[in-house]
Amino acid sequence: MSRFAETETALIERLRALKALPEMSINVFDIGVPLTASGFTQDEMMEVLYALEQDKIIALLPGNRLLMLKELPDG
């Protein structure tokens, strides 16, 4: 599994743990702090967040927040 895939899996699992649903706003620190503690870097997490934004699953907002636009992908 590539590092991107590992990061994506961990990030999506964290969003599921936060019970992320469409139209829900989430503090990025609630995702980043636990993933950093698990050994992921900020750059790795941002790469995945940008990919999720490009896929129109999330929108990155000012103030270190993200908005869920769609249900999380199965995985």
pLDDT tens digits for range 9-45: 999 999 999 999 999 999 999 999 999 999 999 999 9
Name the band, by pLDDT with cuts 50, 70 and 90, for residue 4: very high
Please tell me the distance from the alpha carbon of residue 66 to that of residue 51, in angstroms, as a whole number: 13
Tell me if 39 is assigned to some domain: yes
Read off the pTM.
0.93
Cα maximum dimension of the chain: 32
Tell me if 41 is assigned to some domain: yes
Domain extent at residue 32: 3-68
Does residue 49 contact residue 66 with C-beta atoms inside 8 Å? yes
Domain count across the chain: 1
Tell me if 19 is assigned to some domain: yes
- Position 75 scores a pLDDT of 61
Read off the DSSP letter of residue 71.
P
Q: What CATH number should be reported for the domain holding residue 54?
A: 1.10.10.10
